[in-house]
């Protein structure tokens, strides 16, 4: 298969970027999207040009490192998959593919398609944890947890922190990301203890970092590679409002 | 000068060693901990847990990772689970049984005392993780669920769907975030350690490159902890993440730390087979699939031919024409034999011509029987996400046709040599998790890597590091303006300048693929004296080629992925040779190390305990010099060493 | 101001949710009121009398005005925040995500159309009814003759006999329909009263409410238009 690629190139955070067009040829349908970029990059290196910088690591959809806005969709075509899990058979021979970095004020571009998602770390540092010390804990089976609760907690905990939610949201809102963590811990007795403090602190940090406001479009849920439901946003709203009303 | 290795294994009965040791080692008072700095390299289960726990204790911790966030470390990709001797299933599990299974699974090439300690603290890990809010799978009664895993006859594996590694890592990452917020830990993402600084024989800090700006930075500390994972990517194609590398560990080796058992590589039996020449990595299908999947190849070669030609569907092959070779060869463990055994059995069948795809390098993992027995819904519940992932990659639905699998490099049991305190041969330099060599011997059992990483990080290192640091409480902050730092920084800058200046014809990946090919063909699943000698010569030649002909484009003082890869490959090119040398030296078969000359009549690994019951510890002598071997004898007091038997 | 209703994203959204909810309830009331005009001009005018310049009606009107103001001001504030959060560089290519409604992404535009419709509506009715009473008057000039400020039925009859008014009002109702299909379930979501089981129900409820409101208003408009312009009887039927 042959493709025309329109890729966003930007030297560094300060420089202005622009699209450049590349051709890739003889790509097998079984090639993954990132392998296709590897092939392009190898060609570029041989031509003495700088390869396209893009984030990636595990290439099995779990580390959350890969990003890319492909043909207008975060993580490209196909639902519940990260960019690294997209295979070229999803495209048609001869397609033009536009590849852009995550665009969000809170995710500034570092180079080409690489962005800084440190804001997500900062939100979690504000309260996305249970304050227990190593070794100062009860037996694992001391507190039974209803299976349904543990399962729902796990649904939310599947978040890989890739940033697709904020990148795809027309409002640049990180609510799905924040909600996933708040909700996951809120469903467990261990996390309940500091639930109110957590919800307030994480929302405050999210706002401070310049993420937008959720308007319930559900685009985040549609583009989340882990299919995390906006029901967790409802729970975050509940947690936050209950905490604020008690203040 | 050979190493004087002292493993510092405590005296006393095996079951009491760790408690005795903890009671005997020194501690640092809270007021003094504040004055001490520790650097942790890597933020996986080992590094993340260690940095968080050390920060909690009051040390000043700096933690480095090459990814954009500590949460991305490759521990996240572990799917199946984590072992612990809780005996929640009442199937007569115990610390001793976990210890025994691990020692036996490692083919008697691990230290008894370390493995026993690992089994001992395994239970604490589960408690810790549950308290952190890790959503482990539960039963309807609200208590924790378990599943079984290869190499064990009890159900002792705790899991969180197929994302156990991710959930445990998020737990450690959360603990780390708590400490970052508290100010006790400072995080340096997108930073790569390029050298360890050794002064007066002690670790004093590191030289790191800021991967965004390209700046070379000096960081001093009273102790340095290496938790940078394994070096499986020396094979180019492996299940490791693209960024996983052996460079941090290799710098330690270069600076004088012993490197132990580098040839012990785990080949995981259930990966999706290679599909072409442009593939970048191999995808693992969780070992848990072997709980319900049955592995087979056709009995008849004409069926194999028809499969390859595409004229026959696997599901059309009759039951009596299928060779469930693991069940045939190992009736007691069947499809749940340890990984090395399963991998070799697959290779044996493929070598005999029964490989089921065009390349001849694949066997079937079939769920037909399980679907008939349990129904599609239950199988979907258990493995739905894995089946979807498989279908996404291969375009074949495992509900309809069996999966194709083949072994792939997955984990390296070898690593930096450490004593019982997890300290390397360089005082003040520690290595934990996959980066060290310790607990898995010649083969790691499934669900034990997560256990070891967290054991080291949460429950071992935070205690043992105090024993060393107690002597440093009077020491001032480490001065990074000393000749040792100057020299280390200069060497790093020169190495980078050299790489940038070669401007040859081959890309880093071109050469890495060649290295991978040499390694897989000669230092892979089955090794011979000839193949290893050949590998050494070829790798040496390839290394020369690299330093003459590599092309690294871009600006070193900026975000430059090619430079990062080149620096890592430079180390892999030496590490690969070291692995081959170690494999050549170990003229026996054990665990993941299989020397074709040394096998039983039935084709099983044949150990030579008289000659090789030791950890082979290598000392660096220079890039083109042969390293020097020192042996740490392995003494078995508790376990009787037997030929591993998974037949009955 | 140091209140979460002003300085936190979730708080601001709650203000949108509650003000929106109150406005929906008012619209439902207004719609029911209008429907009486179909059956009896007297009954309708009786309601109009009750809603003249009485203290409770004035308080209600002020309250409604405040709600509309708050709902709109917060919408502008949130949109401005959101615009800035998107950053300066926009995507060159965008594709509609599967399952995302058009309305949900265009609430402000729909809101502006609704607001413009409201202004038109106020000049048609409120300016000739309650406002006249507030100013101390009792009637105003409509279609060349004086009409009592309490004679809502006459205003309806006249306004909707004009085809362009009918078109404008229908456009207004369509915009409102879109706005409500997203707004009604969204207000539950923002208040935290939603989950995966309830999404289909809430979205169904939103569609029912929006459609009910659309039909309730539209039927009056069309009824009076047909009544005034019926080709067979010239408005006598």
Digit-coded pLDDT (tens) for B11-47: 999 999 999 999 999 999 999 999 999 999 999 999 9
Mean pLDDT throughout B66-87?
95
Record: contact A135-B459, CB cut-off 8 A: yes
Give partners of C (≥3 CB pairs < 8 A). Answer: A
Record: contact A240-C8, CB cut-off 8 A: yes
- Across the interface, which of A38, A128, A146 has its CB nearest the CB of B142? A146
Is residue C6 assigned to a domain? no
- Across the interface, which of A30, A39, A188 has its CB nearest the CB of B135? A188
CATH class of A118-246: mainly alpha
Beta bridge partners of residue C77, listed in sequence order: none
d(CA B629, CA A67): 45
- Give the orientation angle of helix A147-157 with respect to helix A175-186, to 10 degrees: 150
- Across the interface, which of A79, A237, A239 has its CB nearest the CB of C190? A237
| pLDDT over 60 at B487, yes or no | yes
**Residue B298: predicted pLDDT:** 96
Mean pLDDT throughout B537-543?
98
Q: Does residue B339 carry a catalytic annotation?
A: yes
d(CA C105, CA C103): 5
CATH class of B269-410: alpha beta
**Phi, psi (deg, nearest 5) at residue B124:** -65, -35
Give partners of A (≥3 CB pairs < 8 A). Answer: B, C
- Fold classification of A3-111 (topology level): Ubiquitin-like (UB roll) (3.10.20)
Alpha-carbon dihedral sign for residues B632, B638, B643, B647: negative
* C-alpha distances out from residue A61 to A118, A162, A179, B67, B174, Å: 20, 10, 21, 15, 21
Is residue C95 assigned to a domain? no
**Residue B278: predicted pLDDT:** 84
Secondary structure of residue B528 in the 3-state scheme: coil
Give the distance, in angstroms, between the CA of residue C107 and the centroid of all CA atoms in the same chain. Answer: 13
| pLDDT grade for C237, boundaries at 50, 70 and 90 | low
| pLDDT over 80 at B384, yes or no | yes
**In the numeric block, which tokens belong to residue A161?**
């922190």
Beta bridge partners of residue B219, listed in sequence order: B206
Q: What is the mean pLDDT of chain B?
A: 95
The residue with tokens 């025309």 is A4
Q: Give B627's DSSP letter.
A: P
Cα(first)–Cα(last) distance of chain C, in Å? Answer: 60
For residue A170, the chain C residue with the least C-alpha distance is: C86
Chain C residues near residue A204 by CB distance under 8 angstroms? 8
| pLDDT over 80 at B645, yes or no | no
Chain A residues near residue C199 by CB distance under 8 angstroms? 231
The residue segments making up the domain with residue C18 are 11-86+102-229
**Residue C234: predicted pLDDT:** 57
Chain B residues near residue A128 by CB distance under 8 angstroms? 174, 177
Chains C and A are touching, with contact defined as 3 or more CB–CB pairs separated by less than 8 Å: yes
Q: Is-contact B543 B577, C-beta < 8 A?
A: yes
Record: contact C100-A218, CB cut-off 8 A: yes
d(CA B542, CA B578): 14
Beta bridge partners of residue B364, listed in sequence order: B296, B404
For residue B51, the chain A residue with the least C-alpha distance is: A134
Contacts of A114 (CB under 8 A, 6+ apart): A53, A54, A55, A101, B559
Record: contact A229-C11, CB cut-off 8 A: no
Mean pLDDT throughout B159-170?
94
d(CA B627, CA B256): 11
- Tally of domains in chain C: 1
Is residue C80 assigned to a domain? yes
Provide the percentage of residues in chain B whose pLDDT is more than 90. Answer: 87
d(CA B393, CA B590): 34
The three-point CA angle B197-B198-B204 to 5° equals 70
d(CA C195, CA C192): 8
d(CA B343, CA B352): 14
> Does residue B354 or residue C143 have the better pLDDT?
B354
What are the extents of the domains in chain B? Answer: 269-410, 483-608
Q: Is-contact B337 B330, C-beta < 8 A?
A: yes
Q: Is C126 left (phi over 0), alpha (psi -120 to 50) or beta?
A: alpha
> Over the Cα atoms of chain A, what is R_g?
20
Record: contact A129-B128, CB cut-off 8 A: no
Is residue C5 assigned to a domain? no
Contacts of C68 (CB under 8 A, 6+ apart): C23, C115, C118
The three state secondary structure string of B269-298 is: EEECCCCCCCCCCCCECCHHHHHCCEEEEE
Q: What is the mean pLDDT of chain C?
A: 93
Rounded (10°) CA dihedral B324, B325, B327, B329: 160
For residue A21, count CB atoms less than 10 angstroms from its CB and return exposed for 0-12, middle for 13-18, buried for 19 or more. exposed
Cα(first)–Cα(last) distance of chain B, in Å? Answer: 47
| pLDDT over 90 at C61, yes or no | yes
| pLDDT grade for C235, boundaries at 50, 70 and 90 | low
| pLDDT grade for B98, boundaries at 50, 70 and 90 | very high
d(CA B238, CA B268): 9
| pLDDT grade for C76, boundaries at 50, 70 and 90 | very high
Active-site residue identified among B218, B339, B344, B543: B339
**Phi, psi (deg, nearest 5) at residue B278:** -95, 10
Which of these ranges, A27-31, B45-49, B235-239, C49-53, has the smallest mean pLDDT? C49-53
**Residue C144: predicted pLDDT:** 85
**Residue A174: predicted pLDDT:** 98
Count of beta carbons in the 10 Å neighbourhood of residue B99: 24
What are the extents of the domains in chain A? Answer: 3-111, 118-246
Record: contact A139-B389, CB cut-off 8 A: no
- The enclosing H or E element of B430 equals strand B429-431
Q: Is-contact B436 B412, C-beta < 8 A?
A: no
- Nearest residue to B195 (alpha-carbon basis) of B210, B207, B205: B207
d(CA B340, CA B510): 29
Chain C residues near residue A175 by CB distance under 8 angstroms? 9
> Does residue C20 or residue B152 have the better pLDDT?
C20
| pLDDT over 70 at C236, yes or no | no
Secondary structure of residue B365 in the 3-state scheme: strand
Per-residue pLDDT of C40-50, as tens digits, reads 999 999 999 88
Pairing state of beta strands A69-70 and A96-100?
A: antiparallel
- Across the interface, which of A105, A204, A219 has its CB nearest the CB of C85? A105
d(CA B426, CA B254): 11
Mean pLDDT throughout A176-180?
98
For residue A80, the chain C residue with the least C-alpha distance is: C98
Q: Where are the alpha helices (DSSP H) in chain C?
A: 4-7, 9-39, 41-50, 55-85, 102-105, 107-124, 130-134, 152-159, 163-191, 198-229
**Residue C233: predicted pLDDT:** 65
**Residue C217: predicted pLDDT:** 97
Q: Is-contact C92 A19, C-beta < 8 A?
A: yes
Per 3-state DSSP, what percentage of chain B is helix, strand, and coil (rounded to 5)? 45, 15, 40
ipTM greater than 0.90, yes or no? yes
> Which of 3.30.830.10, 3.30.565.10, 3.40.309.10, 1.20.58.100 would CATH assign to domain B483-608?
1.20.58.100
Per-residue pLDDT of B406-462, as tens digits, reads 999 999 999 999 999 999 999 999 999 999 997 999 999 989 999 999 999 999 999
| pLDDT grade for B151, boundaries at 50, 70 and 90 | confident
Mean pLDDT throughout A220-245?
97
Secondary structure of residue B36 in the 3-state scheme: coil
Per-residue pLDDT of B215-232, as tens digits, reads 999 999 999 999 999 999
**Residue C1: predicted pLDDT:** 54
Chain A residues near residue C101 by CB distance under 8 angstroms? 217-218
Mean pLDDT throughout B271-275?
90
**Residue B392: predicted pLDDT:** 86
Record: contact A60-B133, CB cut-off 8 A: no
**Residue B101: predicted pLDDT:** 94
- Nearest residue to C149 (alpha-carbon basis) of C37, C26, C58, C51: C51
Mean pLDDT throughout C31-44?
94
The three state secondary structure string of chain A is: CCEEEEEEECCCCCCCCEEEEEEECCCCCCCEHHHHHHHHHHHHHHCCCCCCCCCCCCCCCCCCCCCCEECCEECCCCCCCCHHHCEHHHCCCCCEEEEECCCCCCCCEEECCEECCHHHHHHHHCCCCCCCCCCCCCCCCCCCCCHHHHHHHHHHHCCCCCCHHHHHCCCCCCHHHHHHHHHHHHCCHHHHCCHHHHHHHHHHHHHHCCCCCCCCCCHHHHHCCCCCCCHHHHHHHHHHHHHHHHC
d(CA B549, CA A189): 59
- Nearest residue to B636 (alpha-carbon basis) of B113, B183, B194: B113
Mean pLDDT throughout B282-288?
86
Record: contact C85-A106, CB cut-off 8 A: yes
Q: Is-contact B61 B49, C-beta < 8 A?
A: no
- The domain spanning residue C20 has which CATH number? 1.20.1300.10
């Amino acid at each position: 298969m042959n493709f025309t690629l329109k890729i966003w190139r930007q030297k560094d955070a300060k420089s202005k970027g622009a699209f450049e067009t590349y051709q890739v040829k003889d790509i097998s349908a079984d090639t993954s999207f990132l392998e296709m970029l590897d092939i392009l990059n190898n060609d570029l290196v041989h031509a003495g040009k700088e390869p396209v910088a893009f984030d990636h690591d595990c290439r099995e959809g779990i580390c959350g490192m890969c990003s890319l806005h492909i043909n207008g969709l975060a993580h490209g075509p196909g639902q519940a998959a990260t960019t690294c899990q997209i295979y070229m058979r999803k495209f048609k021979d001869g397609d033009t593919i536009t590849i852009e970095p995550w665009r969000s004020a809170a995710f500034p571009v570092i180079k080409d398609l690489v962005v800084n998602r440190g804001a997500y770390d900062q939100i979690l540092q504000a309260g996305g944890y249970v304050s227990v010390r190593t070794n100062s804990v009860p037996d694992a089976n001391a507190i039974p947890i209803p299976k349904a609760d543990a399962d729902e907690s796990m649904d939310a905990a599947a978040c890989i922190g890739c940033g697709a939610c904020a990148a795809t949201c027309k409002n640049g809102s990180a609510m799905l990301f924040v909600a996933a963590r708040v909700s996951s811990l809120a469903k467990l007795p261990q996390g309940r203890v500091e639930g109110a403090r957590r919800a307030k602190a994480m929302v405050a940090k999210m706002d401070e970092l310049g993420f937008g406001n959720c308007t319930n479009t559900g685009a985040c849920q549609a583009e989340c590679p882990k299919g995390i439901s906006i029901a967790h946003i409802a729970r975050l709203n509940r947690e936050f409002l209950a905490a604020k009303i008690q203040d | 000068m050979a190493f004087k290795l002292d493993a510092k294994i405590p005296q006393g009965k095996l079951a009491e060693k760790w408690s005795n040791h903890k009671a005997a080692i020194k501690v640092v008072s809270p007021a003094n901990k504040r004055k001490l700095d520790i650097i942790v390299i890597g933020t996986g289960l080992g590094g993340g847990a260690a940095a968080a726990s050390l920060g909690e204790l009051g040390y000043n911790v700096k933690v480095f990772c090459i990814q954009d966030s500590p949460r991305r470390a490759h521990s996240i990709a572990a799917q199946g689970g984590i072992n612990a001797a809780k005996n929640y299933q009442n199937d007569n599990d115990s610390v001793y049984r976990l210890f025994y299974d691990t020692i036996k699974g490692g083919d008697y090439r691990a230290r008894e005392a370390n493995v026993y300690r690992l089994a001992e603290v395994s239970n604490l890990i589960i408690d810790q993780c549950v308290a952190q809010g890790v959503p482990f799978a539960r039963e309807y009664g609200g208590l924790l669920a378990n599943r079984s895993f290869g190499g064990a006859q009890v159900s002792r594996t705790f899991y969180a769907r197929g994302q156990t590694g991710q959930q445990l890592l998020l737990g450690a990452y959360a603990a780390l975030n708590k400490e970052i917020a508290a100010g006790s830990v400072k995080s340096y993402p997108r930073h790569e350690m390029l050298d360890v600084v050794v002064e007066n024989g002690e670790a004093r800090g590191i030289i790191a490159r800021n991967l965004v700006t390209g700046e070379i930075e000096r960081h001093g500390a009273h102790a340095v902890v290496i938790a940078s994972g394994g070096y499986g990517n020396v094979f180019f194609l492996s299940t490791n993440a693209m960024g996983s590398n052996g460079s941090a560990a290799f710098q330690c080796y270069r600076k004088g730390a012993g490197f132990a058992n580098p040839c012990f590589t785990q080949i995981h039996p259930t990966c999706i087979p290679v599909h072409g020449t442009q593939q970048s990595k191999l995808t693992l299908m969780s070992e848990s699939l072997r709980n319900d999947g049955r592995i087979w190849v056709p009995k008849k070669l004409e069926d194999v031919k028809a499969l390859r030609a595409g004229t026959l569907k696997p599901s059309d092959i009759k039951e009596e024409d299928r060779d469930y070779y693991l069940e045939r060869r190992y009736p007691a463990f069947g499809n749940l034999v340890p990984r090395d055994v399963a991998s070799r059995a697959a290779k044996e069948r493929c070598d005999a011509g029964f490989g089921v795809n065009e390349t001849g390098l694949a066997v079937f993992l079939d769920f037909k029987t399980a679907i008939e027995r349990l129904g599609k819904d239950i199988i979907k519940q258990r493995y739905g996400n894995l089946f979807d992932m498989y279908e996404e990659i291969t375009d074949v639905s495992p509900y309809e046709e069996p999966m194709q699998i083949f072994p792939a490099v997955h984990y390296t049991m070898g690593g930096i040599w450490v004593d019982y305190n997890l300290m390397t041969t360089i005082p003040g330099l520690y290595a934990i998790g996959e980066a060290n060599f310790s607990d898995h011997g010649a083969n790691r059992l499934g669900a034990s890597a997560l256990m070891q990483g967290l054991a080291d990080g949460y429950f071992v290192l935070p205690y043992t590091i105090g024993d060393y640091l107690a002597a440093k409480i009077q020491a001032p902050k480490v001065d990074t303006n000393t000749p040792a730092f100057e020299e280390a920084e200069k060497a790093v800058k020169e190495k980078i300048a050299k790489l940038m200046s070669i401007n040859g014809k081959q890309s880093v990946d071109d050469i890495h693929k060649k290295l991978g090919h040499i390694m897989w063909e000669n230092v892979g699943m089955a090794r011979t004296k000839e193949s290893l000698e050949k590998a050494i010569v070829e790798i040496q030649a390839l290394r020369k080629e690299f330093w003459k002909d590599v092309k690294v484009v871009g600006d070193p003082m900026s975000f430059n992925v090619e430079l990062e890869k080149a620096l890592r490959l430079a180390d892999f090119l030496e590490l690969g040779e070291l692995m081959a040398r170690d494999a050549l030296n170990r003229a026996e078969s054990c665990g993941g190390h299989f020397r074709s000359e040394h096998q039983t009549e039935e084709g099983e690994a044949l150990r030579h305990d008289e000659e090789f019951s030791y950890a082979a510890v290598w000392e660096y002598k220079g890039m083109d010099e042969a390293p020097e071997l020192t042996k740490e004898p392995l003494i078995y007091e508790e376990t009787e060493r037997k030929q591993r038997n998974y037949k009955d | 101001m140091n209140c979460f209703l002003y300085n936190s994203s979730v708080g601001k959204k709650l203000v949108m949710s509650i003000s929106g909810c109150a406005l929906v309830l008012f619209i439902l009331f207004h719609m029911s009121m209008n429907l009486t005009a179909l059956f009896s001009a007297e009954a309708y005018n009786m309601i109009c009398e009750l809603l003249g310049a009485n203290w409770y009606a004035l308080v209600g009107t002020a309250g409604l005005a405040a709600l509309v103001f708050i709902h709109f001001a917060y919408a502008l504030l949130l949109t401005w925040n959101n615009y800035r959060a998107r950053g300066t560089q926009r995507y060159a290519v965008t594709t509609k995500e599967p399952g995302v409604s058009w309305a949900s992404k265009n609430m402000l535009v729909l809101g502006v159309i609704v607001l413009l419709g409201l202004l038109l509506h106020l000049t048609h009715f409120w300016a000739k009814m309650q406002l006249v009473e507030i100013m101390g008057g009792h009637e105003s000039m409509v279609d060349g003759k004086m009409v009592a400020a309490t004679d809502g039925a006459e205003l309806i009859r006249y306004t909707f006999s004009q085809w362009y008014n009918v078109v404008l009002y229908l456009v207004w109702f369509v915009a409102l329909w879109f706005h409500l299909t997203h707004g009604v379930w969204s207000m539950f979501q923002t208040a935290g009263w939603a989950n995966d089981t309830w999404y289909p129900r809430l979205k169904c409820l939103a569609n029912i409410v929006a459609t009910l409101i659309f039909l309730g208003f539209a039927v009056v408009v069309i009824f009076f238009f047909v009544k005034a312009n019926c080709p067979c009887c010239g408005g006598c039927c």
